[in-house]
Amino acid sequence: MNGAQKILCLGAGGFIGSHLVERLLRGGHEVTGLDTHDDKLADVRTHPRFHWIHTDISGHAFDLDAAVAAADLVIDLIAYANPGLYVRMPLEIFRLNFSENLRIAESCVRHGRRLIQFSSCEVYGKSIAGVAGDALKDPEDPRHATFSEDTSPMIMGPVGKHRWIYASAKALLERVLHAYGLEDRLDYSIIRPFNFIGPRIDYLPSEQEGGLPRVFSYFMEALLTGGTMQLVDGGHQRRTYTYIDDAIDCIARIVEQPAAARRQIFNVGAYGNEISIRGLAELMREIYDERFRLPGQPRASIATISGRDFYGEGYDDSDRR
């Protein structure tokens, strides 16, 4: 560890941010957290080394340059990370996930501050096997779905599938950071999270009208209410899930070892945990039935729905990530 740092954490109030703030404070760092909400930060709001800024960075009323200049390290988690929103509001997705994040990166360049940028495993797009399928000699060869930070191609869907604007914005931002690094103007580390799960991940759909939480929360509500666990396009997509505490352990090492992490990209995930969405639904239902479902409580059903019906026109997805 390189000693206590003054850390500016942008997007501190989210699922990953709130867990990361707790870990940084335990590590002796001084943390300034910024977000539009703080309900997930209840356990640290009164911590003597935590400073809270309640603001929307998009409003530009906040003095970003001053906050960056006062920090030793900037951690940027600001993003919309919700497939339903990618389809419904693609321009807003690009504005926040690229334009606003670029503004943060450029402030780090001006002030010579290290930046840890959260990206996404979605930048890998579709696997080679997912695109070429049976045209490959061996579609099941694991090399066709192995994601390497430095060598894997990034295969996105067509422009008409505007769901890819999220992954494209993230990938473009990564390329800009790399370009600044080539000119020796920015020290950065890029983190590509792979499907983190754990406490505070989201909300139940019934708790927020029109809300679009991630699949774990959708399935959880169906289990609690005896509803339907809907599998988009059959649920054949495969995901590798990572428990949040394990992910934060890894991220803390990236924070505390700047020399080793300098201008590096990190996949943060647990490759041994890959499961299809259908398999996840069946596993969650099995565990819930065995441990939590009360006598007489309706059992959740499992059904298939098309991506268009569930998300809307313009939806597409990665086959594996």
For the stretch 230-265, pLDDT in tens is 999 999 989 999 999 999 999 999 999 999 999 999
pTM above 0.85, yes or no: yes
Clarify whether 124 is annotated catalytic.
Answer: no
Q: What is the CA radius of gyration of the chain?
A: 20
Range with lowest mean pLDDT among 14-18, 86-90, 137-141, 212-216: 137-141
H/E run at residue 76:
strand 73-76
Range with lowest mean pLDDT among 15-19, 191-195, 208-212, 271-275: 208-212
> Residue 206's pLDDT is what?
78
| Number of neighbouring beta carbons within 10 Å of residue 220 | 19
Tokens 């579609």, located at residue: 139
For 35, phi and psi rounded to 5 degrees? -175, 175
Catalytic pick among 124, 166, 180, 218: 166
For the stretch 58-108, pLDDT in tens is 877 889 999 999 999 999 999 987 778 888 899 999 999 999 999 999 999
Q: What is the mean pLDDT of residues 10-29?
A: 96
Residue 1 has pLDDT above 50, yes or no: no
For 274, phi and psi rounded to 5 degrees? -65, 135
User: In the chain, what are the domains?
Assistant: 6-201+241-274 (3.40.50.720)
Mean pLDDT of the chain: 89
* Cα distance between residue 36 and residue 33, in whole Å: 10
12 and 18 in contact (C-beta within 8 Å)?
A: yes
